[in-house]
Amino acid sequence: MILIDDSSAVNTIVPSNLITKLKILGLNTSLFNVFSVLPSEVDMSSPLMYGTPSSRVEGTPRSGVGGTPARQRPDLGSIRKAPQVDLHSEPPSADGAVASEQALGQKLVIWGTDVNVGTCKEKFQRFLQRFIDPTSNEDENAGLDLNEPLYMQKLEEISVVGEPVLNVNCSHVQSFDADLYRQLISYPQEVIPTFDMAVNELFFERFPDSILEHQIQVRPYNALKTRNMRSLNPEDIDQMITISGMVIRTSQLIPEMQEAFFQCQVCAFSTCVEVDRGRIAEPAVCRNCNTTHSLALIHNRSAFSDKQMIKVQESPDDMPAGQTPHTTIVYAHNDLVDKVQPGDRINITGIYRAVPMRENPRQSNVKSVYKTHIDVIHFRKTDEKRLHGLDEDSDQKLFTEERVQILKELASKPDVYDRLSSALAPSIYEHEDIKKGILLQLFGGTRKDFSQTGRGNFRAEVNILLCGDPGTSKSQLLQYVFNLVPRGQYTSGKGSSAVGLTAYVMKDPETKQLVLQTGALVLSDNGICCIDEFDKMSDSTRSVLHEVMEQQTLSIAKAGIICQLNARTSVLAAANPVESQWNPKKTTIENIQLPHTLLSRFDLIFLMLDPQDEAYDRRLAHHLVALYYQSEEQIEEEFLDMAVLKDYIAYARTYINPRLNEEASQALIEAYVDMRKIGSGRGMVSAYPRQLESLIRLAEAHAKVRFSDKVETIDVEEAKRLHREALKQSATDPRTGFVDISIITTGMSATARKRKEEVAQALKKMIQSKGKTPAMKYQQLFDDLRGQSEAAITKDMFEEALRALADEDYLTVTGKTVRLL
Amino acid sequence: MRMWFVCRFCCPAAQSNSNPEWEAKVLEYFKGQLREKESHSWVPSLNDVPLHYLKPNSLVKFRCLVQDMFDPEFYMGVYETVDPSTKANVLRCGKYKDVTECGVDLNSRNTVTAERQTFYCVPIPGESPWAKEISFLSAARVVPSTSYVPSRQKRSYEEDDDDMDTQPQKQREPHTGGMGETPQIQPHGNGDSKRQETEAPSSQTTAPSDCSSHLDLNFPLPGERGPACLVKVYEGLDSFKLNDTLEIYGILSVNPVLTVLGEEKDPSLLLLNPTESMETPEEQRAHDPPASLVPRLHMLYARPLQHNNPLLPSAPTEDQSAFVSSFLVEMASVRAELLAYLTHVLLGDGLAAEYLLLHLISNVYTRRDVLPLGKFTLNLSGCPLNSYTERLYQIVQQLVPCSYRLSMSLHTMNSMRLVPKKDYVANRLVSGALQLARNTSLFLDETQLEQGQLDSSGVRNITALGNLISWQKVDYDFSYHQMEFPCNINVLVTSEGRSLLPSDCQVPLQPQVTPPNMEEYLTTIHMAQFTSQINKFRVYLSLARTLDYSISDEVTKAVEDDFVDMRKDDPQSVTAEDLHRMLVVARLLSLSLGQTTLSRDGWMRAKHIDMLRRSRTEQQKSLNGNEP
């Protein structure tokens, strides 16, 4: 029934499962004739003896693989719909590939495919033995010698570790042998068992003594054919595909019967029946005693395999706007069960299946719809490394050659920095420096690791705070940035709690399992977290940010879960002044009433104020009116496409890691020394090491904008300029007009501090001059001080002075009276 | 003749499978037929005709909103059947059908698998009763020879409103219509049809006790009724978006086989057959509801609707442009009448009426990166209490084709679901009140809000409303992430003081008259208008919105100069935001007069009324003390 000899156009072999199946059915004798035409060159170690699931029937030891039992692979064909076709009436179609195989002199292929088992096996063994990938940077290959055959090292690993699974990257196969890759993609059901066989032979040849739980299974991944759930179509059925998505639901474990064990009630004769397409044919007659309907199913002795249904949803990045995400059903088998949890982002490699709806015997016609699912062969979590901090290029975007060319061309333009910054939020007028700052934030600095020296990670992310009058399009900027970056989060200080920002522990209603749900800050790891109405945030919420904004981690100790999550996120915050209108007579701190400990963690603090001059007004008016009447095309011409900008940033973030060169470091040192000098003349400190770090980050980001691997002097210059601009806006002491960094670092300008001391001293002097009076009236004292002092003294100042004196243990204030001590 | 050719057409085409172009030809044919004058109005509409009066496998149309998009499905595009008696193999076509003929040969090599997608469509949410009525009467006028008689249809429509239980009895009545044709209802379709009008469960009322059998049809708004439909889409999948309003022409399928699913489950088979067990009962209920409740519609052709005003020609054809140009002439006069009417309604406040008129024709016409342009959210503050707002809404509802009043009481805000949410168990998008069609008027009644505690869902709802107003987008909740869907909804907020929600423009109402009996007063005003007059208003509002608009360079210059001057005088009070608003007001003002370019006069007028409005708000502020 299965094999035909050379006389036919194409020769075919069917995996032995069909044959063994026939054996079970007791049809051996009738089929003997067919076997007898077996061409002699097929030896018993190859295809016929090898089998997919049912080969375990007799548990025969395989030649060359010792006594290790084979393990069935329900992922490859538990629900086979292999049609039982009479070969004599329907010769398989001979396509080009088959013909070429024939020309090589190989004549036997698996029915319905162009796969010759012998050749395929040989090719794969050659691949395993020879494939070297010196440029590999996959974390799985960490610790392996890149100049040795990669997969042989992995086999060695298997012999040591004893986990009989070999993951094979399909792109390796493709670069090694394109034809083998094509076969793997097109006929995974046939090719993967062949691979299994090849690898086991090779393995047990090398490590004859190793003991494995079962035979090694090959798990290919990273099939390049399909990347997106949306592009799956009927042509992909029964082919190997790789798609990415997010797990939204997992079912409980489903025991799936693989083999039913029947026992005769009369003579205790037992027999096993394989599940065929989800059904078990109950033997009607006992073969031993010929009693009819005497066989009973024994559940305990039947063989089951684990199975789990997983629902996967398209990841939001893959979707066209305005449509809902698609979902796909995935079946995981055996040890892949419970490997993923809802919420995980994964890449799945598997075989796409379509099963016709069950025919109901009671219905004459059926629904004409197929059910589709994927039998998973390999899972790869895309975000697992996020928790471990290894991840550098997990979400590496694939750029086409042309795209890279366009980006590089853009990068080579001298005015790329200005171009990009003007392309940022074109609907928002001017604020060039703020846009430039945000642009640098989008690129970020270079990540450095000082963990060996005990310093830990060095922050590479740039944090920016925008403050200013309401209605100066701060929110709009935030919205724009949020829409631009792939991993952006947008929250409002008013509506978010500490829990919403960080992470919380939740009990899964179904499994009763504790699950860690991550909040906005963790979700925007490697992205930007936009926080609107920063000033409206409660203190407890804000305190969370302290850790995130400098250490870039988030510690959680809740409900027995203690962990530290990475939150390498840039914070872009917007705050409104307390008095709803910016008071130019006050310092930044006084205007927005934020703790200075938090403020000093922002690299750049910008004020968005109304400049109020005529030329500006005119340009603004022109810009706004244009917004309302220009057509789309005109706008497009003027500005860069948002998509280009997105790609540009993604490319730079992934591939460009600039380092400081000698001159640049010198320039940075000078800049820092200069900054320190400014203040020292007046006894003020105008820069701290934090500012130096900020400068370095900004310079690196600017180098990234230029696609340069070196941070050069021009980068430092721009960083200095921008930093100075921002300082000029936010750290200028309104009383003196000087830039004073201590406003941000200590919350008070040096002059203000001096002034406070003066008032306290004056008050002390006044009290002393009054002689020995143990208690005074509060109001009386205030009035006296006011009368005495030539400068106006506010109640706040007076109270502050009192407090200062109380700290000196000079007096105490109780209610309305002041007592001397 | 219209209905027959469909079922005949499909089968022979399938048999002549040798010609692969037949599919394109089918579409061509139908598009051609429907392009012909009036022909589309011959097709019975699912919106108007009860399902049990429609013939299965006939051509119908459906005016609807795409509420959810299900996963694509693979079906047998071509399959082979074996006749059990003769053993003859016949090729058949599976396109535009749910169910195969008997005796499918699953192993046939001739089977062609094809792909299609299912959309869950609901009638346009918040469609005003007048719009429904007119479209249905006009349909009745041109469908003289349906098996189903229009006059009866009208009656059944009303009776359905009163009592659902009267239906079976009504079916037994002899059908008299003079056409001599009795309704040809397939025997199987009959039994279930009485359940057809299932009301969407209102959020306020608790679900009836027999909720296990009660099917949630997932209408965005509570209290909606009408058929929901599973539309099978074959072509141009990417051109459809969620929340699109469409008029779909397709083949109706109500095969009872679709209904039995899930009822006769053999538990022993379940264990072995994994394909059946992977769907939860919830999912099955959502995706395969009984066909008698949720009919299937196999789409041949869909027309995106710019508006659902039945008084206007819907397609951009020549007769539409003719219609527009003829109406443009009377635009100014209709505007004056409408303004007078609204002034009466707003208790004699002409300025508020002017702003209300502008608000009613506003429309998000484009977006600049994240900024929606053209939106004009109006906050009408100082509204009298005691059901005035309710009355006002009824009047607005009479004028616009789509509207919804959200009474912002504490209870509603805390309990109502505004934002659609993905239900992963049933694998569907559970709708919320903010899933609305474009240009729907959303009437937020803040006068209903009292002091009290908002819980977390209340805060979320308020945030969602704020986002809707500021950015014209709704973030749908996909539990693991949110997804942003842009929308185009006209929001009108009525409140006592300034609204807690953001708005583009606040107008404090200054009543000139204080009628002793508000109800009576408004009713009299309403009654005084003739239907023809009201219809003119309706056309006016829909039409003004669709006009094109531009600003000449000369006027641009003038506007710029003006802005600079204004800033010179008082830089504090005139900001970029004010310019934004005035540009929108100027645009709407010009359009409301039927002018498609901004004139100098138009700009001055816009400035003028904005000044009036501002002086009024300032006045209000000084009256109330300094508002925060």
Those residues with Cβ within 8 angstroms of residue A3's Cβ, 6 or more apart along the chain or in another chain: A11, A12, A13, A14, A34, A35, A37, A38
CA dist A382 and A524 (Å) reads: 15
Which has more confidence, A126 or B1? Answer: A126
Contact A367 B114 (CB under 8 A): no
Residue of A nearest to B75 (CA): A369
Query: How many Cα atoms within 13 Å fall on the side-chain side of residue A128?
Result: 25
From CA A95, how far away is CA A492, in angstroms rounded? 62
pLDDT > 80? residue B112: yes
Contact B260 A363 (CB under 8 A): yes
B218, B365, B368: best mutation site toward chain A, by most A Cβ within 10 Å? Answer: B368
Q: Which of A352, A599, A349, A650 is nearest to A488 (CA)?
A: A650
ipTM of this predicted complex? Answer: 0.73
CA–CA dist A596, A585 (Å, integer): 18
SS3 A801: helix
Residue (of A197, A196, A210) closest to A160 by Cα position: A210
Facing residue for A367 by CB, picked from B98, B115, B463: B98
Q: What is the DSSP string of A336-366?
A: GTTS--TT-EEEEEEEEEEEEPPPPTT-SS-
Instruction: Name the phi and psi angles at B306, rounded to 5.
Output: -75, -30
DSSP secondary structure string, A579-606?
Answer: TSS--TTS-HHHHH---HHHHTT-SEEE
A16 has a pLDDT exceeding 60:
no
Interval A106-121 mean pLDDT: 71
Distance CA A402, CA A816 (A): 77
Give per-residue pLDDT as tens, B572-584.
677 777 888 888 8
pLDDT digits (tens, 9 = 90+) for A505-528: 666 655 566 666 666 776 667 778
Residue in chain A lying closest to B459 (CA): A495
Helix axes B553-569, A614-629, angle to 10 degrees: 140
Q: Is A566's pLDDT higher than 60? A: yes
Q: Please, which pLDDT band fits residue A14 given cuts at 50, 70 and 90? A: very low
The verdict on a CB contact (< 8 Å) between B272 and A367 is no
Cβ atoms of A623 and A473 within 8 Å: the answer is no
Interval A376-390 mean pLDDT:
59
pLDDT tens-digit series, residues A46-85? 333 333 333 333 333 344 444 566 666 666 654 343 433 3
B277 neighbourhood in chain A, CB within 8 Å: 254, 309
- Say if strands B245-253 and B366-368 run parallel, antiparallel, or are unpaired: unpaired
Query: Among A365, A374, A639, which would you mutate to test the B interface (most chain B Cβ atoms within 10 Å of its Cβ)?
Result: A365
Cβ-Cβ pairs closer than 8 A, A with B, add up to: 205
Residue A810 has pLDDT above 80, yes or no: no
CB B238 within 8 A of CB A320: yes
Q: Could you give the strand order of the β-sheet that contains B473-477, starting from the edge strand earlier in sequence? A: B428-430, B421-423, B473-477, B482-486
Q: What is the pLDDT of residue B404?
A: 92
**Residues A627, A502: contact at Cβ < 8 Å?**
no
Count of CB atoms within 10 A of residue B145's CB?
Answer: 11
Any B CB within 8 A of A86 CB: no
Q: pLDDT, tens digit, for every residue of A536-565?
A: 777 777 777 777 777 777 776 666 666 676
Verify whether the Cβ–Cβ distance B71 to A371 is below 8 Å.
no
Q: What is the pLDDT of residues B343-402, one digit of tens each?
A: 988 888 889 999 999 999 998 888 776 778 888 999 988 888 778 888 889 889 988 999
Q: For A753-757, B313-317, B511-515, which range has the lowest pLDDT when averaged over its residues?
A: B313-317
Q: What is the mean pLDDT of residues A721-743?
A: 67
Q: Select from B99, B115, B571 the Cβ nearest to the Cβ of A233.
A: B115
Mutate to test the interface with A, among B120, B264, B278, B566 (most CBs of A within 10 A): B278
Which residues of A, range 92-151, sit inside 8 Å of B by Cβ? none
Which among B74, B277, B576 has CB closest to A370?
B74
B262 or A316: which carries more pLDDT confidence?
A316
Which H or E run includes B34? helix B22-35
Average pLDDT, chain B: 75
Mutate to test the interface with B, among A536, A629, A632 (most CBs of B within 10 A): A629
Q: Do A627 and B564 touch (CB under 8 A)?
A: no
Per-residue pLDDT tens for B287-328?
778 887 888 899 988 888 887 888 877 655 656 677 777 788
Average pLDDT of the segment spanning B464-491: 86
Confidence of residue A763 (pLDDT cuts 50, 70, 90): confident
Count, residues in chain A: 821
Which residue, among A80, A375, A378, has the nearest Cα to A218 in the 3D structure?
A378
Predicted confidence at residue B143, as pLDDT, reads 46
Among the partner-chain residues B269, B427, B559, the one whose CB lies closest to the CB of A621 is B559
Mean pLDDT calculated for residue range B325-337: 85
| Mean pLDDT, range B141-155, rounded to an integer | 43
Q: pLDDT-based confidence at B231, cuts 50/70/90?
A: very high
Q: What is chain A's mean pLDDT, rounded?
A: 70
Mean pLDDT, rounded, for B85-111:
77
**A165-169 vs A254-264, strand pairing mode:** unpaired
What distance in Å separates the CA atoms of residue A534 and residue A490, rounded to the nearest whole number?
12
B220 pLDDT above the threshold of 80: yes
Please report residues of B whose CB lies closer than 8 A to that of A480: 369-370
Residues 6+ apart with CB under 8 A from B388: B518, B522
User: Which of A305-319, A736-750, B87-101, B501-515 holds the top average pLDDT?
Assistant: B501-515
pLDDT, position A539: 74
Q: Chain A residues with CB inside 8 Å of B109's CB?
A: 90
**Distance, CA of A343 to CA of A351 (rounded, Å):** 22
Beta carbons of A462 and A698 less than 8 angstroms apart: yes
CB atoms B560 and A354 under 8 Å: no
Is A375 a residue whose pLDDT tops 50? yes
Residue in chain B closest to A373 (alpha carbons) equals B275
Q: How far is CA A286 from the centre of its chain?
A: 58
Question: According to the model, what pLDDT value does residue A477 have?
Answer: 80
A566 Cβ contact list (under 8 Å, min separation 6): A386, A387, A389, A522, A525, A552, A553, A554
Q: Does A629 touch chain B (CB under 8 A)?
A: yes
Q: Is the model's pLDDT at A134 over the cut of 70?
A: no
Would the CB atoms of A365 and B257 count as touching at under 8 Å?
A: yes
Nearest residue to A300 (alpha-carbon basis) of A259, A349, A266? A259
CB spacing of A373 vs B278 below 8 angstroms? yes
Q: How far is A246 from chain B (nearest CA, A)?
A: 9
